């Protein structure tokens, strides 16, 4: 039966059973390198009358005519067709993607789109996305053997719409790149071998709850059972799902019942009670942690141009920008915002301290987000320029740059029960509230109201709105769901939520090291220090940064702790009358490496004027080496022998002039060093910039070439596998033909149009005296056993007239044969030589 007739029969079956089309389940199967073997196993075990529709998406070479339809047709009773544009889908049919096209599902028809040459293409993701839109909770996506990450982005859309995701077990796949990439998302419902995948698809399609959900019947109405489920989930995850949308929770429970083969709700509740992992899985299913970079790209572009530029402009250079990405899942949204802020600051040639608080209740998602590592599937969402600038590719993964990662603080956080962040410039909470009942939505808006600055911004998902609270949140970009916060606005419906404030426990730090010391030695050392501090003159020890590291004596007369932020900087504490002389002496001491003393310094203290001497001396280290410390001592002025080192009478004019000269010299040297450094940095910067541009260009070219080569490699592997299948079939056919020719009692001689021998059987070889090495020689040079027959002339006549010759002939040994000379026709009905047949008449009669 021809494929057109089969489709007609399928169409008639659907017309006779109108409900069958409504329940038609479409299974999208993505496979690449090594996928042919898995597909053969899959369809070999799939019944031909399952009532399901299968669409197979492979990576195909654009210049190759696929043999997949012929190959798979031998492993299934279903009709196998190459998809055509606008083709209607029917049950018990397998549709294959044609070369050079992407395939989409629209309603009950397949739509073809031409691929863009030279651009990395992910046909599996394209089809899965369309399948998710059309099939929703009835969509089934299967990812099989292949390299790369095609299919990973698509299964996120399938899962978000409530569909089923099945991945081939990497242990059974020839190439595990695609299966492992899909598994790493954590969204796979099953990881199975091709044979086991068949069982689960049939179980899913035969589950009656699928039909009930489609008809929007109320599946469960036992509130006590639901309360029990909520309590089990809260115990396992710490999240109260009571006020989550009931329809969402119902769908997730129903899907887990199908996956776990639970026959009833009570059976599934018992499973939740006994299996904590299932409780965690259901919690994760309800949360639906599906996200992507720059989701709704035009929305993020609007956010950048209209909002982020405004936030950066209005923030002072030394100010900070605070952003909250609420419900960030695995972090793509937070990284997207950070990239936008980085781009804006680079374009404005400015810098701001940007802090993005990225939170989610799913601790595993937060741990993954903090790593900043993503699969190759992000190339569908991130431009090549951003990939080259903000990511580093390692093996088959992309790692976010450190500059972007530093802008983000990831933390587990329940926005409904944990205290929120405050003084925020922007809150990004997208596709979170769609899963909440109105009471939780009001609570969340109240939290945003208290957390945002006046004229802060709120960025919601495209299916969410703050229209009910226009007194507080005024739309700025209505289509893109961006709102500005009116701090003075009031809404009576807002009730401040009660937050869980964790108890603060006093932490006793256990001292380490001291207890290991000998307590006697420690006591003696302490006594020595107390004695020195009591009897030494007023003095301090400075380090190289001019910070005081130790005080001795009655230093309070000359130094005071300045009000404000605590600091031990010497010049922030020294008496103003001593500041100039101390600075000069300290500079001379460090430059000349000897003690410097200034005498007769008048200081106005609280108890009156006092004349003091000030000595600055280096503190020796071990041996003759300097320790880097400097001692400053304050003495009551007295006449007597001069101290060691340099001693001078203090004169404010001379000291000030000297200090000014020192500072000018330091300034001049610093300016020269700065100019030289700036010149070197400019040169290096220009070189680095040029090198960076070359590297970016080279990286983009290499990345593009690598992706193209990978795609070509997958296509070639698929082509090679199909050719290998055909070669095996041809080898078997050749063996069959060889055995047939060698075992038959009929003499057959194949010659080409020039009467050169192509093949012959052993039986005819005896009558023409042929050997194996005679293949390729002209039959005209060989003698035969029929002297009265001109076989060569007869052969030439048949080639000319294309009319077969049949007659009885007698050999030299007297045996009678039936001789037949007929044209050799190909399947295209072209003449490629002759077939000369000799049949033993006596043997035939017997």
CATH of the domain at 766: 3.30.450.20
Whether 799 is in a domain gets the answer yes
Place of tokens 């301090």: 540
pLDDT score at 87: 92
Whether 564 is in a domain gets the answer yes
* Domain finish residue from 159, 184, 211: 211
Where does residue 829 fall: left (phi above 0), alpha (psi -120 to 50 degrees), or beta otherwise? Answer: left
Does 164 share its domain with 121?
A: yes
Does 270 share its domain with 310?
A: no
Q: Tell me the whole-structure pTM to 2 decimals.
A: 0.55
Catalytic residues: 32, 59, 150
Does 206 share its domain with 238?
A: no
Does 759 share its domain with 800?
A: yes
Does 347 share its domain with 421?
A: yes
| Residue 462: CATH number of its domain | 3.40.50.150
Does 461 share its domain with 333?
A: yes
pLDDT score at 492: 56
Give dist(CA 166, CA 284) in Å, integer: 17
Structural domain containing residue 144 = 3-211
pLDDT score at 303: 94
Whether 702 is in a domain gets the answer no
Provide the domain count of the chain. Answer: 5
Does 332 share its domain with 419?
A: yes
Contact 95/109 with Cβ under 8 angstroms? no
Whether 765 is in a domain gets the answer yes
Cβ burial 218-249 (10 Å sphere, 16+ → b, else e) = eeeeeeeebeebbebbeebbebebbebbeebb
Does 318 share its domain with 453?
A: yes
Whether 553 is in a domain gets the answer yes
Structure-block tokens of residue 830: 């072209």
Cβ burial 568-600 (10 Å sphere, 16+ → b, else e) = bebebbbbebbebbbbbbbbbbeeeeebbbbbe
Give dist(CA 477, CA 734) in Å, integer: 71
Structure-block tokens of residue 134: 């059309």
Query: What angle is formed at CA 666 by the lines to CA 661 and CA 671, rounded to 5 degrees?
Result: 125
Strand boundaries in 436-526, DSSP class E? 452-460, 473-477, 482-485
* Domain finish residue from 287, 321, 342: 287
Does 642 share its domain with 749?
A: no
β-strands 626-636, 608-620: how paired? antiparallel
Give dist(CA 837, CA 273) in Å, integer: 80
DSSP 431: S
Does 118 share its domain with 37?
A: yes
Contact 714/148 with Cβ under 8 angstroms? yes
Does 259 share its domain with 205?
A: no
Give dist(CA 183, CA 365) in Å, integer: 14
Whether 672 is in a domain gets the answer no
| Residue 173: CATH number of its domain | 3.40.50.180
With a CB cutoff of 8 Å and minimum separation 6, the contacts of 533 are: 551, 552, 553
pLDDT score at 253: 84
Contact 209/250 with Cβ under 8 angstroms? no
pLDDT score at 407: 93
Question: Among the residues of 424-552, which ranges form H helices?
Answer: 438-451, 519-535
Does 181 share its domain with 64?
A: yes
* Domain finish residue from 211, 238, 273: 211
Residues of the chain with pLDDT under 70: 1-23, 61-66, 118-120, 208-223, 289, 488-535, 622-627, 638-644, 693, 696-708, 710-712, 714-715, 741-745, 841-846
Structure-block tokens of residue 107: 């309603």
Longest CA span, the chain: 157
Whether 689 is in a domain gets the answer no
Q: Of 258, 250, 253, which is closest to residue 281 (Cα–Cα)?
A: 253
Whether 673 is in a domain gets the answer no
């Amino acid at each position: 039966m021809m494929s057109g007739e089969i489709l007609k029969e399928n169409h008639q079956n659907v017309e006779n059973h109108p409900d069958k089309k409504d329940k038609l389940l479409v299974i999208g199967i993505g496979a690449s390198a090594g996928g042919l073997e898995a597909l053969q196993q899959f369809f070999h075990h799939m019944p031909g009358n399952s009532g399901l529709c299968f669409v197979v998406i492979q990576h195909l070479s654009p210049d190759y005519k696929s043999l997949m339809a012929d190959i798979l047709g031998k492993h299934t009773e279903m009709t196998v067709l190459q998809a055509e544009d606008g083709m209607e889908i029917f049950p018990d049919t397998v549709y294959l993607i044609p070369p050079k096209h992407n395939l989409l599902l629209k309603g009950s028809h397949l739509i073809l789109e031409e691929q863009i040459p030279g651009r990395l293409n992910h046909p599996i993701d394209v089809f899965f996305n369309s399948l998710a839109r059309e099939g929703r909770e009835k969509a089934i996506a299967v990812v099989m053997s292949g390299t790369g990450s095609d299919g990973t982005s698509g299964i996120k859309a399938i899962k978000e719409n409530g569909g089923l995701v099945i991945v081939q077990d990497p242990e059974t796949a020839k190439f595990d790149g695609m299966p492992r990439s899909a598994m790493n998302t954590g969204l796979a419902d099953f990881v199975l071998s091709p044979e086991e995948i068949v069982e689960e698809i049939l179980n899913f399609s035969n589950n009656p709850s699928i039909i009930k959900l489609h008809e929007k019947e109320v599946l469960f109405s036992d509130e006590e059972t639901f309360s029990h489920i909520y309590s089990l989930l809260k115990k396992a995850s710490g999240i109260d799902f009571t006020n989550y949308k009931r329809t969402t929770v119902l769908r997730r429970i129903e899907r887990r019942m199908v996956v776990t083969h639970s026959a009833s709700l009570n059976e599934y509740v018992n499973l939740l009670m006994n299996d904590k992992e299932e409780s965690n899985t259901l919690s994760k299913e309800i949360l639906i942690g599906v996200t992507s970079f720059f989701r709704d790209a035009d929305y993020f572009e609007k956010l950048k141009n209209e909002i982020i530029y405004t936030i950066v402009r209005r923030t002072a250079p030394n100010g900070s920008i605070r952003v909250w990405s609420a419900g960030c899942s695995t972090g793509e949204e937070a990284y997207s915002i950070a990239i936008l802020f980085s781009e804006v600051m680079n374009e404005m040639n400015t810098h701001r301290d940007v802090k993005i608080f990225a939170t989610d209740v799913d601790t595993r998602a937060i741990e993954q987000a903090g790593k900043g590592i993503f699969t190759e599937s992000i190339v569908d969402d991130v431009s090549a320029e951003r990939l080259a600038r903000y990511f580093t590719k390692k093996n088959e993964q992309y790692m976010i740059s450190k500059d972007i990662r530093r802008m983000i603080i990831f933390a587990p956080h329940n926005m409904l029960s944990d205290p929120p962040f405050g003084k925020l410039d922007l809150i990004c909470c997208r596709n979170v509230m769609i899963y909440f009942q109105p009471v939780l939505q009001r609570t969340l808006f109240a939290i945003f109201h208290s957390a945002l600055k006046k004229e802060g911004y709120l960025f919601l998902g495209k299916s969410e709105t703050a229209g009910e609270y226009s007194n507080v949140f005024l739309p700025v970009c209505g289509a893109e769901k961006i709102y500005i916060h009116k701090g003075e606005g009031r809404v009576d419906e807002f009730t401040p939520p009660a937050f869980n404030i964790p108890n603060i426990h006093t932490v006793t730090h256990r001292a380490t090291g001291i207890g290991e010391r000998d307590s006697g030695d420690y006591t003696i050392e302490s006594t020595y220090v107390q004695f020195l501090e009591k009897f030494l003159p007023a003095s301090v020890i400075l380090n190289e940064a001019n910070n005081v590291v130790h005080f001795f004596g009655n230093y309070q007369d000359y130094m005071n702790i300045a009000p404000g932020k605590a600091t031990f900087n010497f010049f922030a504490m020294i008496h103003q009358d001593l500041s100039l002389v101390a600075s000069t002496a300290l500079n001379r001491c460090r430059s000349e490496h000897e003690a410097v003393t200034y005498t007769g310094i008048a200081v106005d203290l609280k108890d009156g004027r006092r004349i003091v001497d000030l000595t600055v001396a280096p503190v020796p280290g071990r041996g003759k080496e300097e320790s880097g410390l400097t001692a400053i001592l304050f003495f009551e002025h007295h006449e007597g022998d001069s101290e060691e080192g340099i001693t001078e009478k203090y004169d404010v004019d001379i000291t000030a002039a000297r200090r000014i000269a020192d500072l000018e010299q330091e300034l001049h040297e610093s300016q020269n060093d700065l100019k030289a450094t700036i010149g070197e940095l400019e040169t290096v910067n220009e070189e680095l910039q040029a090198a960076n541009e070359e590297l970016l260009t080279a990286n983009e070219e290499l990345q593009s070439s690598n992706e193209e080569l990978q795609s070509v490699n997958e296509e070639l592997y698929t082509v090679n596998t199909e050719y290998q299948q055909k070669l095996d079939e041809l080898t078997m056919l050749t063996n069959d033909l060889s055995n047939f020719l060698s075992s038959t009692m009929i003499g057959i001689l194949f010659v080409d149009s020039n009467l050169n021998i192509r093949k012959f059987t052993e039986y005819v070889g005896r009558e023409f005296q042929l050997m194996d090495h005679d293949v390729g020689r002209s039959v005209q040079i060989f003698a035969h056993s029929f002297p009265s027959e001109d076989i060569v002339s007869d052969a030439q006549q048949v080639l000319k007239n294309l009319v077969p010759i049949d007659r009885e002939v007698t050999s030299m040994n007297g045996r009678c044969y039936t001789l037949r000379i007929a044209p050799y026709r190909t399947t295209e009905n072209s003449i490629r030589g002759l077939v000369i047949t000799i049949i033993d008449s006596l043997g035939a009669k017997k």
